[in-house]
Structure 1
Amino acid sequence: MTYKIDPDMLHSVAEQVVGLPLEGGELIAQTVERLAAVYPDLIDTGPGRWVGSKAGGILGKVRFLYFSPREYVVLFGSPTGTQGFSGRYKHVDIHKFLLAGQIDSYDLESDDTVPLPALLPGQRTCLERGHARGLTIHPGSWHLEYGRGAVVTTLPFAMVDTLLVSLELESVRRSTVEFSKLVSRRLRR
């Protein structure tokens, strides 16, 4: 299968923006601008709408940048920190590229009783298909996330917690609007 997004290029962009200030939105704006320079026909540079997201207990803000049946790119973070379950995706690899903050994690199935090495700004990690982790996302942490595989299979995990546990219909509505906007943008090309 061929994909349009190269994880190594996303990592390069993440490394370029590390250290830019969160205040005033420079870190996020520069990330989007640099991604759009690399992928001008894919990344949505329009005024981004942040959407509340709760999945696996992890509560944060997400901004959708690209979505197709086989790939997605989003920005995700939390000003105050959060923790929970990564999800277990049988058909998708989830790559994270940390822009600011710190993410601690541990493998749920291993015999290890110690956490994985902390993910620090400029570093990357990949949750491979079929694996699951416990996560702590520290306050002020923001990352670029790239999913590769049968993306539609991630949507139940991404939406069920928000919809059925939190009863947060507005976030589900906003997410649906953002997905629809990106899909219709792709269909127009």
Structure 2
Amino acid sequence: MAASKSKQNGSAKPAASPTKDRSFVTRWATRLIALVVAYFTCSFLDSIKDRWYVFDPPFLHELARSAIAASPGDTAGMIQHIVTNLTETYPSSVIALNSGLDRNEWFFNNAGGAMGAMYVIHASITEYLIIFGTPLGTEGHSGVHTADDYFHILEGEQWAFEPGALTKEVYRPGDVHLMPRGVVKQYKMHKNCFALEYARGWIPLMMPFGLADVMSSTLDYPTFFKTSRITGREMLRNLLIGKI
């Protein structure tokens, strides 16, 4: 009997400690509170992000059209026209622009299966303005983004379509292809197609899409670091003058 009791006592599991139970509940309550605070903070910031925008979409559309008229068939001339006008319109105390047009500032971008080259005119937390295109043509997935994207065709032609559409959308020089945030499309840029692309929203959250192909497919790490360096540099330049 004594041996049996001893065995039973030896195999009995100790009761859960009240202190451990309270610690478990406290941890999960803290995580839940942090999640709720993060959600409402992000919702609040999203509701006021408009106050940090500097560029005006109708102005950029007119600027793209005037660049086409000023330098028909001359992509370099169009880009020069755009950058010169932006520099004259927006003071450096309000927004930082990468206006040097140095050829070394161009880099490849592989995203969603499409490939082209891009030049960053402006990058901040809530806006970016770039030149993107290719003389060879490309096709791919638009990605799902946290920003509205305005694609101003300067040269060439872009096609796009959404699931369920049985006809393609066609965008030619002077047209703007607006992609509201969250919209997904397949798109194709024909040979010698270049565009002025403007995005407004949460730009850092777009970066994973722009860099994922480098990590999983092309393994072009020099381009990865160049993209990160130039984009990060321009965002920092803008933060230093108070442009979010």
* Distance apart, 1:163 and its partner CA: 2.6
Runs of 4+ with >4 A deviation: 21-24
CA RMSD across the alignment: 1.6
Larger RCO of the pair (alpha carbons < 8 Å, separation 6+): 1
Which residue pairs with 1:126 in the alignment?
178
Which residue pairs with 1:44 in the alignment?
98
Seq. identity, %: 26
CA contact (8 A) 1:79 1:141 kept: yes
Determine which structure has the larger helix proportion and give its number: 2
Separation in 1, partners of 2:118, 2:75 = 17
Pick one of 78, 98, 118 that aligns with 1:62: 118
Which residue pairs with 1:86 in the alignment?
142
Pick one of 11, 30, 44 that aligns with 2:61: 11
Which residue pairs with 1:115 in the alignment?
168
* Aligned AA (1:98): I
CA contact (8 A) 2:125 2:235 kept: no
Separation in 2, partners of 1:73, 1:156 = 18
Change (3 A) 1:23 1:11: closer
* Distance apart, 1:167 and its partner CA: 0.6
Which residue pairs with 2:37 in the alignment?
none
Change (3 A) 1:106 1:32: same
TM-score by length of 2: 0.72
* Aligned AA (1:28): I
TM-score by length of 1: 0.91
Determine which structure has the larger strand proportion and give its number: 1
Equivalenced residues, count: 185
SS in 2 for 1:18: helix
Per-residue Cα deviation, 1:11-39 (whole angstroms, up to 9, x for no partner): 01100011525658222222211222222
SS in 2 for 1:183: helix
Change (3 A) 1:123 1:24: closer
* Distance apart, 1:69 and its partner CA: 0.9
Change (3 A) 1:104 1:76: same
* Distance apart, 1:46 and its partner CA: 1.9
Pick one of 221, 225, 237 that aligns with 1:173: 225
* Distance apart, 1:92 and its partner CA: 1.0
CA contact (8 A) 2:157 2:189 kept: yes
Instruction: Please identify the structure whose Cα radius of gyration is greater.
Output: 2
In the alignment, structure 2 segments of 5+ residues that lack a partner are 1-49
SS in 1 for 2:168: coil
